[in-house]
Structure 1
Amino acid sequence: MATIKDVAARAGVSISTVSHVLNHTRRVSEEATRNVLEAVNALNYAPNSVARSLKVNNTRTIGLLVTASANPFFAEVVKGVEDYCFNQGYSLILCNTENQLERQRHYLRMLMEKRVDGLLVICTDMDDEIQALLRSYQHVPQVVMDWGGRCDFANVINDNVRTGAYLAGKYLVEQGHRQIACITGQLAKQTTQLRLDGVRDALAEAGLELAAENILEGDYEMQSGFDAMQRLIARPTRPTAVFAFDDPMAIGAICAATQAGLKVPEDISMVGYDDVEMARFSSPPLTTIRHPKAELGAHAVELLVSRIRNKEQTAEAVDVQPELIIRHSVAAPRQN
C-alpha cells in the first residue's frame, strides 16, 4: 500500500506539500497540486484518516442531520452542503431521520462516535425534545437551518417564512383576489403557523380575513396538495386563488385542478413556496417564494467551519430574506 512518502517522491514535492494539497490547509501552486493529485491517482493512495484524526484531533468530517432528504427543498439544500464540503476537503455523513426522535438519538450517538468536527441540522421544526437532545452535544459546533427560533448553543439560519408568506398573500391581493385558500403543512408545526401569520398579515392590510374553512391542512407532500384541491373544487363556491405552503403541494393541486377540467390561472390561481427546480417546469410554470437553496447550504457549512476553527465564537442567528418569483400561475380573478 502506497504511503504519503511514496506520493511525495513521485510528485517531486515534500511530504508537507502533499498534506497541504490533500487537506486544503495551505495554498499550493497549480503545478504542484496537479503533480500531487496525479501521483495519488497513479498510486491509488488513501490517507489513514483514523491515524490523522488522532494526531491532529479532528476528522475533517461534518455530520448532517436532515428530517426528510427526499423532499425537493431539502435535496437542493443538501447538494449545496455537499458541494461546499467537497471543495473544502471535508467529508459529509448524511443522516435522514424522517423526523423520528429515536432515529435522531441513534444518528447523533453515531456521529459523536465518529468524532465529527461539527453538526449541521436541517429541519422544519425544532421541538423541545430534539432541542434538548442537541443541547446535550453542545460541545460540538452546530448550525441549525430552516427553523424560525433562536437558541443559545448553535448558530441558527432563520429563513423568515412569515415574510415569505406575506409576500405571497400580498401579491394575490394585488392581483385582485379576495377569496384566498391556503393548503398548509401540518398545523402543529411552527413553520406552518408562521406562514399562516404571514398570509393573515397581508390580508389584514387589505381589510380582509383568512376564513377558517379556507385553511386546508396538508403535510408538505404532493398528494396532500392534490387531495386538498379536490375538496376545494367540490365546493359550491370555490376560492379564486390558492397559496400552497410548498411547491410539491402546489403542483399536486394544479394536477387536481387540471384533471377536473379547470385551467390555471384562468379559473384558479396558484402560488407555491420554496422555488424548487420542478417549479419552473410545472404547467403552467409556478409563481412561488424563493430561497437560494444551494447558497443557503453552502453558507451554513461556511458558518459551521468558522465555528469549528474558532470554538470561542458565540452562537448567533443569521437572517435570510425570501423573494417573490412571478411566473404564469397567477392571474386576476374572472369577473362574474
Structure 2
Amino acid sequence: MATMKDIAKLAGVSTSTVSHVINKTRFVSDEIADRVNRAAKELNYTPSALARSLKMNRTRTFGMLVTTSTNPFFGEVVKGVERSCFHKGYNLILCNTEGDDQRMQSSINTLLERRVDGLILMCPTLAGEHIDAFDRFPDVPVVVMDWGAMHFTCDKIQDNSLLGGYLATQHLIQSGHTQIACVTGPLKRNQAQMRYEGYQQAMQEAGLEMNPAWVVESNFESDGGYDAFQRLYAQKTLPSAVFVCNDMMAMGLINAATGRGIQIPQQLSVIGYDDIYIAKYMTPSLTTIHQPKYRLGTAAVEALLNRLENQPDEPQVVHLEPELVIRDSVREYHAGS
C-alpha cells in the first residue's frame, strides 16, 4: 500500500508538502499540487480515514439508535438523517435495538467506543433511563427525539404533539362531529400523552363530553388500531369520528371497521397522525396530522454539528410544528345530514 513518503519520492517534494496537498491544510502552488495528485493517482494512494481521524480527533461519523417498528415513520426520519450526513460529509452507523434494553445499552457502548462524533437516539425506552456510558464519554454530543424527561445531557428535537392532537380533534369538531373517540398510543410515552391532552383540550374548549369508553389506549402499531376498533365496536354505540394517534393504528382501525361493514367516512370518520408516505394512497386517503419527518432527521444532524462547532452552554431544543392534511377519511357531518 502506497504511503505519503512514496508519493513524495515520486513527485520530488517533501512528505509535509504531500500532507498539505492531500489534507488541504496549507496553500501549495497549482504546479506542485498537480504533481502530487498525479503521483498519488499513479500509486493508487488512498488516504487512511483512521489516521486522519486520530490526527484531527474527529471520525466524521455519527451513530444513530432506533427501535424496531413496522411504522415507516422511523424509516422516513432515518432517510433525512442519512441524506443530511452525506451532504455534510459524515458517515452514519445505524443500530437497531429490537426493543431490547440490554441491546440498546450495548449498542450505545459500541458506538461510543468507536469514537463517533455524536449520537442520535430514537428509542422511547430511553425516557427516565440513566446511561452509564455517557458518564465515560461526557464530551460526545447526544440528540434525542423527544420521548420525555432524560437523565443525561442532550439536545432535543421536539414535535409539538399537544398542538397536533388539538388540531386533529378541532378538525373533527369543525366538520360537525360531537361524538369523538380517541385511540392513544402507550400513555407512558410523552408523545402519546401529549396528543391525548391535545384531544382533551379541543373537546373541553368545544364543551363536548368525553365518553371514557371511547378512549382506548393502544400500542402505536397496526394491530393495536385493529384491536382498538373491536373494543369500540363492543360498546352500545359507535362514535361518529375517531382521532387515532398515529397513522399505523389508523390503518388497522380502518381495516377492522371495514371488516365489520362500517363505511369510512360515511359511518365513521377517521383522522390519523404522522402523515406517513402511504397515508395518501389508502382507501379512502387518510386525513392526518403531518409531522415533518425528513426535517426531524436533518434537524438532528444540524443540532449535532452546532454542538460540535459552537459548543453552546445549555441543552438546545428544536421545535417542529405539525400541520393538518385534509384528505378523504373525514365526513363533513351535520345534524340531520
1:255-334 map, 5 Å:
255-333=255-333
Q: Is the 8 A contact 1:121 1:143 kept in 2?
A: yes
> Once structures 1 and 2 are overlaid, which stretch shifts more, 176-185 or 108-117?
176-185
Q: Is the 8 A contact 2:128 2:151 kept in 1?
A: no
Amino acid at match of 2:73: F
Amino acid at match of 1:259: G
> Once structures 1 and 2 are overlaid, which stretch shifts more, 184-193 or 319-328?
184-193
Q: Is the 8 A contact 1:101 1:130 kept in 2?
A: no
Q: Encode CA deviations 1:189-237: one digit per residue, 9 max, x unaligned.
A: 2222111111000000011232221111211101111121123234331
Amino acid at match of 2:67: T
Q: Is the 8 A contact 1:182 1:245 kept in 2?
A: yes
Q: Encode CA deviations 1:242-281: one digit per residue, 9 max, x unaligned.
A: 1111101101111111122221111100000011101111
* Equivalence for 2:127: 127
For 1:128, what is the secondary structure of its paired residue? coil
Q: Encode CA deviations 1:280-303: one digit per residue, 9 max, x unaligned.
A: 111111111111111220111011
Structure 1: where are the runs of 5+ without partners? 27-31
1:35-54 map, 5 Å:
46-54=46-54
The answer to whether residue 138 in structure 2 is matched with residue 138 in structure 1 is yes
Could you tell me how far apart the structure 2 residues matched to 1:131 and 1:210 are? 40
Distance apart, 1:2 and its partner CA: 5.2
Q: Is the 8 A contact 2:60 2:117 kept in 1?
A: yes
Distance apart, 1:131 and its partner CA: 6.3
For 1:187, what is the secondary structure of its paired residue? coil
Q: Is the 8 A contact 1:272 1:286 kept in 2?
A: yes
**Identity rate of aligned residues, in percent?**
45
* Equivalence for 2:14: none
Structure 1 residues 67 and 209: alpha-carbon distance in aligned structure 2, compared to 1, 3 A threshold: farther
Q: Is the 8 A contact 1:223 1:252 kept in 2?
A: yes
Could you tell me how far apart the structure 2 residues matched to 1:307 and 1:156 are? 12
> Once structures 1 and 2 are overlaid, which stretch shifts more, 93-102 or 252-261?
93-102
Distance apart, 1:44 and its partner CA: 7.0
The answer to whether residue 180 in structure 2 is matched with residue 180 in structure 1 is yes
Could you tell me how far apart the structure 2 residues matched to 1:293 and 1:301 are? 13
Could you tell me how far apart the structure 2 residues matched to 1:7 and 1:234 are? 78
Distance apart, 1:74 and its partner CA: 1.1
> Once structures 1 and 2 are overlaid, which stretch shifts more, 47-56 or 58-67?
47-56
1:36-115 map, 5 Å:
46-68=46-68, 70-115=70-115
Could you tell me how far apart the structure 2 residues matched to 1:252 and 1:43 are? 59
Backbone CA RMSD of aligned residues: 3.1
Q: Is the 8 A contact 1:152 1:315 kept in 2?
A: no
* Equivalence for 2:30: none
Distance apart, 1:149 and its partner CA: 4.7
Structure 2: where are the runs of 5+ without partners? 12-16, 28-32
Q: Is the 8 A contact 1:181 1:214 kept in 2?
A: yes
Structure 1 residues 113 and 203: alpha-carbon distance in aligned structure 2, compared to 1, 3 A threshold: same
* Equivalence for 1:220: 220
> Once structures 1 and 2 are overlaid, which stretch shifts more, 164-173 or 97-106?
97-106
Aligned pair count reads 321
* Equivalence for 1:240: 240
Normalising by structure 2, report the TM-score.
0.84
* Equivalence for 1:116: 116
